[in-house]
Structure 1
């Protein structure tokens, strides 16, 4: 596998606003499971990775995703019917996207939902190869290739030209976690549907709060692979840490969100909004 990422970051962005009008870009909303949220390209993380984010004070970079389901196990949570595991609301935890000024694919800068860790100026990940760099990101698009599923690289090629997927052979380490093995490791189930009625309704309305996401993050952190069991003690500790954590991500997210309302998109502003708050630097690209 070999990919050409310079000037792209398609897998780190929700770039539907840059897709041609006739592009088929609804890959995350096909089939039985449809996300409650309206953000593309969620990068899911594992329970171990959730705990690492909490250890590093980076809970603000995590969000929960629940799903509607047309035909399959579901549970009513408040006024929303969501996919279920064992009668419990099923969910993923992934990396948060926030409006940032970016210019992928040679386009003019514009505000797009962008991974909390992506440097808008270089379009590189600020946590690449660090302890919190998710396996989903480090192996992408290896799992897609192993499953013979279309990659974001190919979608970018189709919409914007160029060669992004240079070598499409799956890497030796590609090992998609599917089926029962994913339960408690990457796919989680909340043990108390009544407790999250308001949170699920707000997620469906695009109005989820930090406390809403912290609730699901804590359950993921307290989960164990291969089981629906959730440790009450680990849950309480994780929820407290998620609510109390503060990092450059939190303050940068708040400022980007404010700027996106009425300022022109300037990728260079990342030096102030993120860099001055302690965000790790990115190396840039070789000439």
Structure 2
């Protein structure tokens, strides 16, 4: 597997506003996400724990799915996918609007991963212990499962060559399926009644810090291969998440405050370094440095 990521970041950006056709691969079938985030990366329990310990739990967000009546558990009048009668969810990274210029476009307001440098389109936590397996191995999981990759979608709609070698990698760490995912990547909330009001917030992009911390805590308190949750561990993770004041969360709020309409020109947007690096974001090396290393 080999990819050309320079000037792309299609897997990190919600580029639906600049796509010539609808991109709905995440919303086909009987279980549609309740949120409208594009390509939300599912983190493992250990990765979520590491984000929390690093003071970055405040940039994590949950995903739940709507199902047909009688197939899940009802919360806020919505039937939510469940395991053993309890709401199922995973946790990913938030995507605020940022001024980005993927695929040779001019700077445009598009939702992008909280850790994506809008200028270089490189990940600020790449080559750190926090870099998720799902990101490090992308698009390996898609290739193994025979699913279309974001690289191929970008090629089809914006040209260029992104997926240079489509041979699936032999060694994947983050691909957890079926029972192996339970408690390790797909989590179960033990008390649906505690989620009253949350589903409406999720659908309207109005999740509160308390909403997000509730799911983060349960994920950290989960046991792989089980629906059980360690209440003490969950409580500590929830509290630490609520105490977090990370540069990434501050940058999310800053971008939300100044962003224009999604898909609109962002030529008057603030300098990304002033919004992110000035708040403590790690700088990215740029593509010249990457080419030298190659």
Q: How does the TM-score come out when normalised to structure 1?
A: 0.96
Structural mapping, 1:20-31, within 5 Å: 20=20, 23-31=21-29
Post-superposition offset of 1:73 = 3.5
Tell me the equivalent position of 1:10. 10
In the alignment, which of 81, 101, 120 is matched to residue 79 of structure 2? 81
In the alignment, which of 35, 40, 43 is matched to residue 42 of structure 1? 40
For residues 148-199 of structure 1, give each alpha carbon's deviation from its aligned partner in whole angstroms, at most 9, with x where no partner exists.
1000000100110100000000111136211011000000010010100111
Partner SS for 2:171:
coil
User: Separation in 2 of the partners of 1:216 and 1:266?
Assistant: 36
User: Separation in 2 of the partners of 1:234 and 1:134?
Assistant: 22
Conserved? CA contact 1:185–1:226, under 8 Å: yes
Aligned pairs, how many?
Answer: 285
Partner SS for 1:234:
helix
User: Separation in 1 of the partners of 2:285 and 2:178?
Assistant: 38
In the alignment, which of 143, 151, 154 is matched to residue 153 of structure 1? 151
Tell me the equivalent position of 2:220. 221
**1:242 and 2:241 matched:** yes
Conserved? CA contact 1:60–1:250, under 8 Å: yes
Post-superposition offset of 1:78 = 2.1
User: Separation in 1 of the partners of 2:103 and 2:270?
Assistant: 17
For residues 99-119 of structure 1, give each alpha carbon's deviation from its aligned partner in whole angstroms, at most 9, with x where no partner exists.
000010001111111000000
Tell me the equivalent position of 1:283. 285
Structure 1: unaligned runs, 5 residues or longer = none
Partner SS for 2:63:
strand
Partner SS for 1:11:
coil
For residues 185-227 of structure 1, give each alpha carbon's deviation from its aligned partner in whole angstroms, at most 9, with x where no partner exists.
0000100101001112211232211111110010001001100
Partner SS for 2:196:
helix
Tell me the equivalent position of 2:167. 169
User: Separation in 1 of the partners of 2:231 and 2:280?
Assistant: 34
Conserved? CA contact 2:72–2:87, under 8 Å: yes
CA RMSD of superposed structures (Å): 1.6
Structure 2: unaligned runs, 5 residues or longer = none
